[in-house]
Amino acid sequence: MEQATTTIAGLRAPILRAGAPSTEAIVFLHGNPGSGRDWQPLVEQAGAFGRALAPDMPGFGQADKPGDFDYTVEGYARYLDALLQAEGVQRVHLVLHDFGGPWGLSWAAQHPDRVASVTLMNVGLMPGYRWHYMARIWRTPILGELFMATTNRPGFKLSMKQGNPRGLPDAYVEEMYRNFDKKTRAAVLKLYRNTSDVSALSERIAQVLAPRRIPALVVWGEADPFGSARYAEMQRQFFDVRRVVLLPDSGHWPMIDNPAAVSEAVAPFLRERYCAR
Each residue's pLDDT tens digit, 45-60: 999 999 999 999 999 9
pLDDT at 277: 64
Length of the chain: 277
Residues of the chain with pLDDT under 70: 277
The pTM of the whole model exceeds 0.95: yes
pLDDT at 276: 74
Structural domain containing residue 200: 2-275
Q: Tell me the per-residue pLDDT of 152-200, one tens digit each, with 9 for 90 and over.
A: 999 999 888 888 899 999 999 999 999 999 999 999 999 999 999 999 9
Q: What CATH number is given to the structural domain containing 112?
A: 3.40.50.1820
Pairing assessment for the beta strands 24-29 and 52-55 based on DSSP bridges: parallel
pLDDT at 162: 82
pLDDT at 275: 80
The domain total for the chain is 1
d(CA 50, CA 32): 27
